[in-house]
């Protein structure tokens, strides 16, 4: 996934990573592209891990709003695998687009074959490396399929400029490309809104 995102990010650009987690993505982008990055997270542990990587990181609850970030104030706003944890994903999506000149969102695909099989055979909520939590302890409030996400974008007048489909391993195969909603485990989108 890093390689896909990396290709979409210009060198030395100003990046906001919403839900930056332990800061790995930002740290790698900083090392490889010399970006100027800012992470946002709510977890104490993640903030500490990001600081340990020498990153700038802000403790903030994305669900409480992002009004403190000005319009088009970052070259790229990134939200990697955090979208599904938000209380108000649609609001956040519009905010991401407002703040960034470009926006990149990656989501886990809940409709991929493995999830479908687990649910069908075991009758229990699916667990995978991308979605490792039990149903009762998961931070994921709004899991969706690729179709769901793309429908949300359409309804919100958001255009998908590019879409990359991969397995959790990061690999893209004929199957993930041909039947994305069934075989892709992660989708990475570059999105924008026509003004």
Partner 1 sequence: MSNKSLGIVKPEIFSYKENFPLESGKNLKGFDLIYETYGELSKSKDNAILICHALSGNHHAAGFAPDDDKKPGWWNELIGPGKAFDSNKFFIVSLNNLGGCHGSTGPSSIDPETGSKFGKDFPLVTVKDWINSQNILREFLQIDCWHSVAGGSLGGMQALQWSIDYPEKIKKAVVIAAAPKLSAQNIAFNEVARQAIVTDPNFEKGTHHPKRGLGLARMLGHITYLSEEVMKEKFDRDLKKDKIEYGYGIEFEVESYLRYQADNFSDKFDAHTYLLMTKALDYFDPSKYFEGDLISTLENTKSEFLVVSFSSDWRFSPKRSKEIVNSLIAAKKSVSYVNIDSYQGHDGFLFPDDRYVKTIKTFLSSNV
Q: With the CA atoms of 16, 67, 88 and 167 taken in that order, what torsion angle do they form, in degrees rounded to the nearest 10?
A: -10
Name which of residues 37 to 96 contact partner 1 (CB under 8 A). Answer: 38, 44, 47-48, 51-60, 68-70, 73
Give the nearer residue to partner 1 in terms of CB position, either 12 or 151. 12
Q: Which residue has the tokens 């100003």?
A: 14
Q: How is residue 70 annotated by DSSP?
A: P
Q: How far is the CB of 156 from partner 1 (least distance, A)?
A: 25
User: By C-beta, is 27 or 188 nearer to partner 1?
Assistant: 27
Q: Tell me whether residue 74 or residue 183 sits nearer to partner 1 (CB atom).
A: 74
CB of 128 to partner 1, least distance (A): 32
Cβ-based nearer residue to partner 1, 47 or 187? 47
Q: Which has the closest alpha carbon to 66: 94, 104, 38? A: 94
Q: Which is nearer to partner 1, 53 or 167 (CB)?
A: 53
Q: Which of 36, 85, 118, 168 binds partner 1 (CB under 8 A)?
A: 36
**Cα–Cα distance, 32 to 54 (Å, whole number):** 15
32 binds partner 1 per the rule CB under 8 A: no
Asked if 186 and 131 touch (Cβ cutoff 8 Å), the reply is no
The count of residues interacting with partner 1 (CB under 8 A) is 20
Q: Which two tokens stand for residue 3?
A: 């390689």
Residue 72: how many other CB atoms lie within 10 Å: 13
CA distance linking residue 182 with residue 165, whole number of Å: 11
- Positions touching partner 1 (CB under 8 A) are 14, 36, 38, 44, 47-48, 51-60, 68-70, 73
């Amino acid at each position: 996934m890093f390689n896909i995102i990396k290709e979409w990010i210009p060198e030395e650009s100003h990046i906001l990573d919403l839900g930056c987690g332990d800061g790995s993505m930002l740290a790698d982008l900083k090392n490889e592209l010399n970006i100027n990055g800012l992470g946002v997270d709510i977890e104490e542990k993640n903030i500490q891990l990001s600081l340990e990587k020498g990153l700038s990181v802000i403790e903030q609850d994305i669900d409480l709003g992002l009004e403190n970030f000005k319009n088009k104030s970052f070259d790229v706003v990134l939200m990697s695998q955090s979208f599904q944890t938000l209380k108000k994903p649609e609001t956040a999506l519009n905010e991401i687009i407002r703040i960034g000149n470009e926006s990149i969102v990656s989501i886990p695909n809940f409709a991929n074959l493995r999830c479908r099989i687990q649910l069908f055979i075991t009758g229990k909520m699916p667990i995978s490396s991308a979605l490792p939590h039990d149903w009762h302890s998961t931070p994921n409030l709004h899991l969706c399929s690729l179709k769901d996400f793309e429908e949300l974008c359409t309804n919100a007048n958001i255009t998908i400029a590019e879409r990359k489909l991969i397995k959790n391993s990061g690999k893209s195969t004929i199957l993930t490309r041909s039947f994305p909603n069934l075989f892709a485990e992660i989708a990475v989108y570059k999105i924008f809104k026509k003004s």
